[in-house]
Structures are given as structure tokens and as C-alpha cells.
């Protein structure tokens, strides 16, 4: 008899029918053996929703530009539910896509699953997930954290022990699994590495439905694949995160520049100081990208008037943002340490601004801006972001060709523009994440916000920036990448492309996981037959 391929939607409906039937009549050992009812738990259907509201909520993301409608949404009570779902898809004659959705903060639909199933990982928190802080002689302090947990909750759980993770993102309301699937970067990365460099161990559900514990020493191929792997190799259900002694307060300083060369030279000097600063970030200040923005409010009205005058004269000025952690033991020397580090810097005289805040308030600085924007209805708008890693050797060319000739000239940007250096030595090349070849490279973030009907214009500007870099031979790498063709992905991964393909074939051979990244398709020339 000829086999009939069943659509993903029909398969999901079949799952519900089977599970509901089982809940009524009990264990059906004599029912049609061709149907794989035995893999389902009796209450699985109650956690799988086809409701229009659930499906609509899982169809988009923070970017607000891509809508991909799933067939259903799973609200798991435990990792076993996710295993059950993926295992069913893998064993099906017509596998369907599965995407793990954390806080939905992707920009281009990366956490969507058209006609498949989106797994709302936050449901695990409502079902008893927790964060456990521990110590061992071999590992030191660490926290076991669900992949669904928000980083702000990891911070809140570890601080009462006088501890905290060492590497952060600027925004803490992101999930652990989400940032580890990318890299997790901020102004601490030059010193402590990205978040993926501070993971000891993980529990991961592969595209075969296997729940595997992995580390650098156990199942290491999966461990390195998942870190920065864009969700292609598994769903992170637990991560063991490095903790260190937490400071109590921070000295938070900003200084202004009117010369990009001096601005970047000082940043590079500051990140080279051993046991120096704990955080270094830079940003552009223009008319369309103001000094105070949703990331932080630092300057008083009188300062803003002075800054506006500088912008009028120069078009762009540059803000260097620096932080040094301290506690009671170092409180008496912190100012002296900073003044010593600032000697020889080329900032504009008299334009140095300082705050003294708690460690928590500094790390959670973006939250207050978010609350204000939500109150104004300006948070849930399209965000056509572009994040790049730019080699140090070409950052001056990038400034002229992008910041001046494209962004300043076109006057379209609305949102923060970040530019700050980090060190390649802090990244483990065995991981899936890719960075430029040079030892020092810059993290550039064009964090656009847009009206609903205007995001395509900013998207076109992003394409112009990418085209300029390509034609100028600036070997950038996208962070939180978005590409349209497999050839572009191959160029992105470069020397890692072959191993990326091999890992996909090993851990997700039927291309079930994270289809929203648009890396692979069933027509990919390398794909093995799913019947093999």
C-alpha cells in the first residue's frame, strides 16, 4: 500500500485525539498498533494548545517584522514533555518543526516554527523550575539554572549568597537558553568572555528527542555545538553557570569624545589593563540617537543642552561608558584607582559624568527604560536591529563608511548605537559561535526602533551597510545573524561550516529544531535521507 504523508497540523491533531482517548479509557494495549499512542502521557494533550490566542502569541517576536504561524503551542510541565514532543516528531513519517521560545526577544522570527510546534519554555517556571546555588572543590561556586530562567532571576537567586555570574547581556529579561544559543555579550565580555564561555555543563534535548548531559569532558561535541549554535542542535533545559564573588556597588562613569580615533584608541587601551575595569562600552550620540535613551538615563537636562551644542558642531559625538566594581573593602581606594586608569585619556575636558549605584541597579539598568517605554506604548514596536562584529583593523573605515556616510547622512536611525571592543582570546573556537579572526574586534549594535509602517526603510539601510562592508572588504560577522540563503550561511560560518553541518546531521538529522533561523532546508545538498 502506498504511504500517505500526513501534514504537521494533522499529526498534532492526531496526538490530541490519541491522548484524549487514552485519558478516557485508560491504557489501550489493543488499539490500532500502527498509531504510536504508547509514547504519550495521559495529560500531554492538556499542555498542547491550538487556540488562536496561543498560536498568535507564538507567531512573532520582539523584532515585530516576521510572522510565522505554528500549528500548535506546547506549554511543558517538565523537560519530559519536550522530549516527548521532539521524539514524536523524529519518529514520525513526516517530521514537523519544533522551536523553543524563551522570552521571544529575537528580531527576525528565529524562535518561530511555521506549521510546527512552538515550545513556550516559560511554562517550565510555572511548573516548579528553580535555581540552585552550589559549591564544589573542583568547580568552585556555580548555579544550576533552567534554560527557561531569566538572567535577572539568576542574579536575584545568587546575590543573597554574595555571588553572581560574571558575564552579562545589557538586558537581563532574556532566558539563559536563549542567550547561550547565541553568545551573550556586553561590556564585560572583554574581561570575562561571553556568557557561553562561562558554562560548566548543560542538559540538552537533541533533535532525536534524547536528553543528554554534556560538558567539555562529557559528550563534548554536543556541548560545543549547542553554545552559540542558534538552537540547531538541541533545547537547553539546564545550564551550570560559573559564579564568583559579587561586588556590592559600582562606580559608573561616562566621558565624551568628539574624535572617533581617540575614542577607539582609549577603549582599546582600557581593555588591555590587567585587573582594570569590569565593563567598557561605547556609543554614538546624534540627534536621532540621543544621549539619554531606553538603555539608560545618565545626563541631566543641563548636560543634555551642552551635549546638543556639541552634536550641532560635530554631527556625532561618542560616549565612553566605564564601570569599576567595588565593595566595603575597596571603597576607600576606588576613586584613586579610577583616576590612575584615566590618566592620558583623550576625552573632552570637563565632560566626565559619574554615578555610584548598587551592583544590581547597574546590571538591571535597561529595565527602567523598558517600563517607561511600555507606559508610552513604545516598547512593542518593530525593531530592525543589526548587530555586527567588526575587526579592529577596519573600525576606522567602518566609522567613515557606515556611521558618517550612511547613518548620519540618511538621518533615519532611532535608537542606541553601540560600539565597543572585546578580545577573541576570551572565546573558545570549539563552540559554534563565530567571530572575526583578529585578536581584537568591535561589537557594533544598531538598535533601531521603528513605527509599524517604517521598519522596511531601516531594513534597507541595514542592507546598505552590509553591502558597503562586503564591497569594502571589511570582514564582519553578524551577531544574532539573519541570512536569506544557505550560501550566505556558509560564508558566515567560514571554516566552521563543515563541522556545523556535521553536527546538524549528528544531533538533528531530520532538521526539526529552530527552523526560524532559516539555515537548512530539506533541499540542502548535504542532507542525509531521513530513512537512512
Which residues 6+ apart lie within 8 Å of 250 measured at CB?
278, 279, 323, 324, 325, 326, 356, 357, 358, 359, 362
Rounded average pLDDT over 153-169: 98
CA-wise closest residue to 397 among 464, 492, 468: 468
**How many Å apart are CA 487 and CA 468, to the nearest integer?**
19
Same domain as 188, residue 293:
no
pLDDT for 14: 53
Least confident of 186-195, 281-290, 355-364, 459-468: 281-290
Sort strands 98-101 and 117-120 into parallel, antiparallel or unpaired.
parallel
CA-wise closest residue to 6 among 87, 117, 96: 96
Asked whether 96 and 53 are in contact (CB, 8 A), the reply is no
Question: Could you list the active site residues?
Answer: 105, 170, 281
32 confidence band (pLDDT: 50, 70, 90): very low
Same domain as 420, residue 271:
yes
Same domain as 322, residue 223:
no
Q: Assess whether pLDDT exceeds 50 at residue 35.
A: no
- Does residue 36 belong to any structural domain of this protein? yes
**How many Å apart are CA 342 and CA 351, to the nearest integer?**
13
The enclosing domain of 133 has a CATH number of 3.30.465.10
Task: Tell me the per-residue pLDDT of 384-393, one tens digit each, with 9 for 90 and over.
Answer: 999 999 999 9
pLDDT for 18: 44
- Does residue 332 belong to any structural domain of this protein? yes
E strands of 52-172, at which residues? 72-74, 98-101, 117-120, 132-136, 140-146, 163-164
**How many Å apart are CA 169 and CA 162, to the nearest integer?**
20
Dihedral Cα 73, 77, 81, 85, nearest 10 deg = 0
**How many Å apart are CA 407 and CA 173, to the nearest integer?**
29
Q: Which of the listed residues 66, 99, 125 is the one where a domain comes to its end?
A: 125
- Does residue 54 belong to any structural domain of this protein? yes
Rounded average pLDDT over 436-464: 93
Same domain as 255, residue 240:
no
Q: Assess whether pLDDT exceeds 80 at residue 145.
A: yes
Asked whether 90 and 206 are in contact (CB, 8 A), the reply is no
3-state helix, strand and coil shares in percent for the chain, rounded to the nearest 5:
35, 20, 40
Rounded average pLDDT over 132-148: 97
Task: Tell me the per-residue pLDDT of 202-224, one tens digit each, with 9 for 90 and over.
Answer: 999 999 999 999 999 999 999 99
Asked whether 472 and 510 are in contact (CB, 8 A), the reply is no
Dihedral Cα 155, 156, 161, 167, nearest 10 deg = 0
Rounded average pLDDT over 390-403: 98
**How many Å apart are CA 378 and CA 331, to the nearest integer?**
39
pTM above 0.85?
yes
Q: Assess whether pLDDT exceeds 70 at residue 454.
A: yes
pLDDT for 524: 60
Give the residue numbers spanning the domain of 253. Answer: 249-479
Number of structural domains (the chain) is: 3
- Does residue 505 belong to any structural domain of this protein? no
Residue 328 is classified by DSSP as: G
Q: Specify the length of the chain in residues.
A: 532
Most confident of 277-291, 334-348, 510-524: 334-348
Asked whether 204 and 509 are in contact (CB, 8 A), the reply is no
Same domain as 314, residue 299:
yes
pLDDT for 7: 52
Same domain as 430, residue 358:
yes
pLDDT for 302: 73
For the stretch 27-48, what's the b/e string if a residue is b when 16 or more beta carbons lie within 10 angstroms of its beta carbon? eeeeeeeeeebeebbeebbebb
Same domain as 231, residue 100:
no
Top pLDDT among 38 and 383 is at: 383
- Does residue 493 belong to any structural domain of this protein? no
The enclosing domain of 407 has a CATH number of 3.40.462.10
The enclosing domain of 19 has a CATH number of 3.30.43.10
Same domain as 385, residue 255:
yes
Task: Tell me the per-residue pLDDT of 287-336, one tens digit each, with 9 for 90 and over.
Answer: 866 665 555 567 777 777 788 888 889 999 999 999 999 999 999 999 99
Percent of the chain at pLDDT > 70 equals: 88
Asked whether 108 and 63 are in contact (CB, 8 A), the reply is yes
Same domain as 168, residue 61:
no
For the stretch 166-177, what's the b/e string if a residue is b when 16 or more beta carbons lie within 10 angstroms of its beta carbon? bbbbbbbebbbb
- Does residue 213 belong to any structural domain of this protein? yes
Same domain as 68, residue 17:
yes
Same domain as 89, residue 153:
no
Q: Assess whether pLDDT exceeds 50 at residue 498.
A: yes
376 confidence band (pLDDT: 50, 70, 90): confident
With H, G, I as helix, E, B as strand and everything else as coil, classify residue 195. Answer: helix
**How many Å apart are CA 89 and CA 74, to the nearest integer?**
13
pLDDT for 154: 98
Q: Which of the listed residues 71, 98, 125 is the one where a domain comes to its end?
A: 125
DSSP string for residues in 480-521: S---SSHHHHHHHHGGGHHHHHHHHHHH-TT--B-GGG----
pLDDT for 23: 40
Rounded average pLDDT over 192-203: 98
- Does residue 503 belong to any structural domain of this protein? no
Q: Which of the listed residues 479, 507, 527 is the one where a domain comes to its end?
A: 479
Mean pLDDT of the chain: 89
51 confidence band (pLDDT: 50, 70, 90): very high
- 252 φ, ψ (degrees, to nearest 5): -120, 115
Same domain as 68, residue 164:
no
Asked whether 194 and 179 are in contact (CB, 8 A), the reply is no
- Does residue 306 belong to any structural domain of this protein? yes
Amino acid at each position: 500500500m502506498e504511504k500517505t504523508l500526513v501534514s504537521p497540523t494533522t499529526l498534532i491533531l492526531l496526538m490530541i485525539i490519541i491522548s484524549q482517548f487514552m485519558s478516557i479509557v485508560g491504557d489501550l494495549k489493543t488499539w490500532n498498533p500502527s498509531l504510536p499512542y504508547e509514547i504519550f502521557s495521559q495529560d500531554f494533550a492538556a499542555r498542547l494548545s491550538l487556540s488562536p490566542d496561543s498560536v498568535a502569541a507564538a507567531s512573532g517576536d520582539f523584532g515585530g517584522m516576521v510572522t510565522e504561524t505554528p500549528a500548535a503551542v506546547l506549554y511543558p510541565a517538565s523537560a519530559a514533555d519536550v522530549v516527548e514532543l521532539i521524539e514524536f516528531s523524529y519518529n514520525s513519517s513526516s517530521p514537523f518543526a519544533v522551536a523553543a521560545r524563551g522570552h521571544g526577544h529575537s528580531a527576525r522570527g528565529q524562535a518561530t516554527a511555521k506549521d510546527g510546534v512552538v515550545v513556550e519554555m516559560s511554562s517550565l517556571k510555572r511548573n516548579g523550575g528553580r535555581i540552585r546555588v552550589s559549591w564544589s572543590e573542583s568547580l568552585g561556586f556555580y548555579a544550576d539554572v533552567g534554560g527557561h530562567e531569566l538572567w535577572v532571576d539568576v542574579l536575584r537567586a545568587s546575590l543573597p549568597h554574595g555571588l553572581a555570574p560574571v558575564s552579562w547581556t545589557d538586558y537581563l529579561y532574556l532566558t539563559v537558553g536563549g542567550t547561550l544559543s547565541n553568545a551573550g555579550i556586553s561590556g564585560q565580555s572583554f574581561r570575562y568572555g561571553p556568557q557561553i564561555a562561562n558554562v560548566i555543563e548543560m542538559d540538552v534535548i537533541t533533535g532525536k528527542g534524547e536528553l543528554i548531559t554534556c560538558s567539555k569532558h562529557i559528550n563534548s561535541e554536543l556541548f560545543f555545538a549547542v553554545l552559540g549554535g542558534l538552537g540547531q542542535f538541541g533545547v537547553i533545559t539546564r545550564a551550570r553557570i560559573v559564579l564568583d564573588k559579587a561586588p556590592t556597588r559600582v562606580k559608573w562613569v561616562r566621558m565624551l569624545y568628539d574624535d572617533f580615533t581617540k575614542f577607539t584608541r582609549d577603549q582599546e587601551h582600557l581593555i588591555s589593563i590587567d585587573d582594570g575595569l569590569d565593563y567598557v562600552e561605547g556609543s554614538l550620540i546624534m540627534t536621532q540617537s540621543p544621549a539619554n535613551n531606553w538603555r539608560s538615563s545618565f545626563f541631566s537636562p543641563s548636560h543634555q543642552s551642552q551635549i546638543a551644542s556639541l552634536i550641532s558642531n560635530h554631527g556625532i559625538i561618542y560616549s565612553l561608558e566605564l564601570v569599576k566594581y567595588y565593595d566595603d573593602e575597596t571603597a576607600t581606594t576606588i576613586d584613586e584607582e579610577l583616576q590612575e586608569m584615566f590618566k592620558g585619556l583623550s576625552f573632552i575636558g570637563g565632560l566626565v559624568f559619574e554615578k555610584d549605584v548598587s551592583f544590581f541597579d547597574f546590571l538591571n539598568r535597561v529595565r527602567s527604560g523598558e517600563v517607561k517605554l511600555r507606559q508610552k506604548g513604545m516598547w512593542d514596536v518593530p525593531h530592525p536591529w543589526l548587530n555586527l562584529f567588526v575587526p579592529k583593523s577596519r573600525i576606522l573605515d567602518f566609522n567613515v563608511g557606515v556611521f558618517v556616510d550612511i547613518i548620519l547622512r540618511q538621518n533615519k536611525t532611532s535608537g542606541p548605537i553601540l560600539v565597543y571592543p572585546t578580545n577573541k582570546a576570551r572565546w573558545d573556537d570549539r563552540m559554534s559561535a563565530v567571530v572575526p579572526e583578529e585578536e581584537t574586534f568591535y561589537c557594533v549594535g544598531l538598535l533601531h526602533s521603528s513605527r509599524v509602517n517604517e521598519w522596511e526603510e531601516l531594513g534597507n539601510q541595514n542592507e546598505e551597510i552590509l553591502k558597503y562592508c562586503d564591497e569594502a572588504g571589511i570582514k564582519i560577522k553578524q551577531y544574532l545573524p539573519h541570512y536569506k540563503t544557505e550560501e550566505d550561511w556558509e560564508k558566515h560560518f567560514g571554516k566552521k561550516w563543515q563541522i556545523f553541518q556535521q553536527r546538524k546531521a549528528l544531533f538533528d538529522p531530520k532538521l526539526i529544531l529552530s527552523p526560524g533561523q532559516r539555515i537548512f532546508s530539506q533541499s540542502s545538498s548535504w542532507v542525509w535521507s531521513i530513512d537512512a
